[in-house]
A and B are shown apart, each in its own frame.
Chain A
Amino acid sequence: MAGTALRGRLTWQVAKVESVTDETSTVRTIGLGLPDWPGHRAGQHLDVRLTAEDGYAAERSYSIASAPGEAVAITVERLADGEVSPYLTQELRPGDEFEIRGPIGGYFVWDAADAPTPLLLLAGGSGIVPLRSILRHRDQTGNGVPVSLLYSARSLPDVIYRAEIDRYAANADVEVTYTLTRQSPPGWTGHTGRVDRQLLTELAWPASAGPLAFVCGPTAFVETVAELLVNLGYPAQRVKTERFGGMGEA
């Protein structure tokens, strides 16, 4: 793939913050200026390194929220006792700099040029970030592969990129289902509660269609959902998983 070198050392480079956009009360998207960016694939991530004045440094990984070909953006969720996320989601402003290393990942990736098997995307909380990159890439390339997104979030205000996702859902070949686990708005007729076998049986492509599943979110979410998919007949190698640190539930 052009511009996505797999070989050679990744070096740290300096990123300049171009924009900050609050997606929800605890989630922010940060647009970065990176003069030497080689391009990225949907689903990849980058490592961030922050250095304090006394030399103390902290590193974290964040999924790339933008599609291949777009400027790099990451979406960060503020964790209550986090060390880096409170800084990135509250203090950081355009013009600030930090170091990044990337793009990283060759497993949890999807390319529009891949075999056109139906996609099943399962997001727990901020696990939506790499899946949004996949959806954006699919949309921008006019790729019509059928896709079903199941997005588990605490409440409707916690749904990240909601307007954009609902726009994709207007297409016949895109199915979007939200399930709200802690709180739902009055009159909500959608799903509530955690993803379970019944919900997956309703929404997942049948195993016979040869679908490819991407599951991303907190470890507990990923393990529950991945196991359910395997029980529904998905071969293990057709279920790609990426576990995030943070809350134990979406």
Chain B
Amino acid sequence: MSPVSRGFHGRRREPADRQRVPPGQYVTADFPVLSAGPTPHTSLDKWTFSIRQAGETSKSWTWPEIQGLPAEDITSDIHCVTRWSKLDTRWRGVSVDTLLAETGQEGARFVLAFSDGGYTTNLPIADVTGGRAWLAYGYDGQPLPAEHGGPARLLVPHLYFWKSAKWVRGLELLAADEAGFWETYGYHMYGDPWREQRYAGD
């Protein structure tokens, strides 16, 4: 048992409403920046978002084309596997349903999101459709900053936030689940915060 350090409280933790906050999480008003590598910087005139399947790009959008798609404002709680939850975060982006509607998805049951810098993360296709996921390019009324994944990131708030890939550049459609970056190193393939699925085997 570690001794308690008198008077140490740590970063301010808001009281957590357990109906709203998953088990094992602390609520923060901050937005911690977590990164596994250097921040990529892709200029918007070179940026594209693609849907790929069987080694081919089935559909690709440039930045202006993404901006031209119908967008939504999303308010959601987010939960990081490092135990921080942030409530009522506000985003703006395009529903992944809108993006996938323009592509065929024969046999695809999973996606692997891929990002600048080599990061990947895997999700069932059911978890990025049905209004549960977005390509988000706005945060808190402003363009999404680079340190939080800008120009655009995946937003899948019902799963641990490592699934909301920063600097996302596309989705690879797959027939079988394939471990992404953190999943390869022992994190859970699915990542449901309500079942505390942090690590493989949880």
Interface residues of B in 1-59 (CB under 8 A from A): 2-11, 13, 26
- Is the pair B11, A51 in contact by a Cβ cutoff of 8 Å? no
Of A94-102, A125-133, A221-229, A237-245, the one with at least 4 CB within 8 A of chain B: A94-102
- Is the pair A98, B10 in contact by a Cβ cutoff of 8 Å? no
> Counting CB contacts under 8 A, is A58 at the interface?
yes
- Is the pair B5, A97 in contact by a Cβ cutoff of 8 Å? yes
Residues of A within 8 A of B7 (CB): 87, 91-92, 96
Residues of A within 8 A of B6 (CB): 96-97
- What's the Cα separation between A50 and B11 when bound, in Å? 12
- Is the pair A51, B4 in contact by a Cβ cutoff of 8 Å? yes
When C-beta atoms are compared, the residue in chain A nearest to B8 turns out to be A50
- Is the pair A52, B9 in contact by a Cβ cutoff of 8 Å? yes
Interface residues of A in 79-99 (CB under 8 A from B): 83-84, 87, 91-92, 96-99
- Is the pair B11, A52 in contact by a Cβ cutoff of 8 Å? no
Among B2, B4, B8, find the residue whose CB has the most chain A CB atoms closer than 10 A. B8
**Distance of A188 from chain B, by nearest CB (Å):** 37
Residues of B within 8 A of A58 (CB): 8, 10-11
- What's the Cα separation between A51 and B11 when bound, in Å? 12
- What's the Cα separation between A191 and B5 when bound, in Å? 42
**Distance of A217 from chain B, by nearest CB (Å):** 20
When C-beta atoms are compared, the residue in chain A nearest to B2 turns out to be A51
- Is the pair B26, A56 in contact by a Cβ cutoff of 8 Å? yes
Q: Given A51-B8, A87-B8, do A56 and B3 touch, yes or no (CB 8 Å)?
A: no
Q: Which of B3, B13, B26 contacts A51 (CB 8 A)?
A: B3
- Is the pair A57, B2 in contact by a Cβ cutoff of 8 Å? yes
Residues of A within 8 A of B11 (CB): 58, 83
- What's the Cα separation between A54 and B2 when bound, in Å? 11
- Is the pair B5, A96 in contact by a Cβ cutoff of 8 Å? yes
Residues of A within 8 A of B2 (CB): 12, 49, 51, 57, 99
**Distance of A101 from chain B, by nearest CB (Å):** 12
- Is the pair A52, B4 in contact by a Cβ cutoff of 8 Å? yes
Residues of B within 8 A of A97 (CB): 3, 5-6
> Counting CB contacts under 8 A, is A53 at the interface?
yes
- What's the Cα separation between A53 and B26 when bound, in Å? 14
- Is the pair A52, B10 in contact by a Cβ cutoff of 8 Å? yes
- Is the pair A83, B5 in contact by a Cβ cutoff of 8 Å? no
**Distance of B14 from chain A, by nearest CB (Å):** 13
- What's the Cα separation between A87 and B7 when bound, in Å? 8
> Counting CB contacts under 8 A, is A14 at the interface?
yes
**Distance of B38 from chain A, by nearest CB (Å):** 12
When C-beta atoms are compared, the residue in chain A nearest to B1 turns out to be A51
Residues of A within 8 A of B3 (CB): 14, 51, 97-99
Q: Which of A56, A96, A99 contacts B10 (CB 8 A)?
A: A56
> Interface readout for A41-70 with B: 1 if CB under 8 Å, 0 if not?
000000001111110111000000000000
- What's the Cα separation between A56 and B10 when bound, in Å? 8
Among B4, B5, B11, find the residue whose CB has the most chain A CB atoms closer than 10 A. B5
Residues of B within 8 A of A49 (CB): 2
- Is the pair B5, A98 in contact by a Cβ cutoff of 8 Å? yes
- What's the Cα separation between A242 and B4 when bound, in Å? 30
- What's the Cα separation between A69 and B4 when bound, in Å? 29
- What's the Cα separation between A83 and B13 when bound, in Å? 12
- Is the pair B4, A83 in contact by a Cβ cutoff of 8 Å? no
Residues of B within 8 A of A98 (CB): 3, 5, 8
- What's the Cα separation between A51 and B7 when bound, in Å? 10
- What's the Cα separation between A97 and B8 when bound, in Å? 11
Chain B residues within 8 Å of A, Cβ to Cβ: 2-11, 13, 26
Those 10 A-B pairs whose CB atoms lie nearest each other, nearest first: A51-B2, A50-B5, A50-B8, A98-B5, A83-B11, A91-B7, A56-B10, A87-B8, A52-B10, A58-B10
Sample of 15 A–B contacts (CB below 8 Å):
A12-B2, A14-B3, A49-B2, A50-B10, A52-B9, A56-B26, A58-B8, A58-B10, A58-B11, A87-B7, A87-B8, A91-B7, A96-B5, A97-B6, A98-B8
10 extra interchain contacts, Cβ-Cβ under 8 A, other than A58-B11, A87-B9, A97-B3? A51-B8, A52-B5, A52-B8, A53-B4, A54-B13, A84-B10, A87-B5, A96-B5, A97-B6, A98-B3
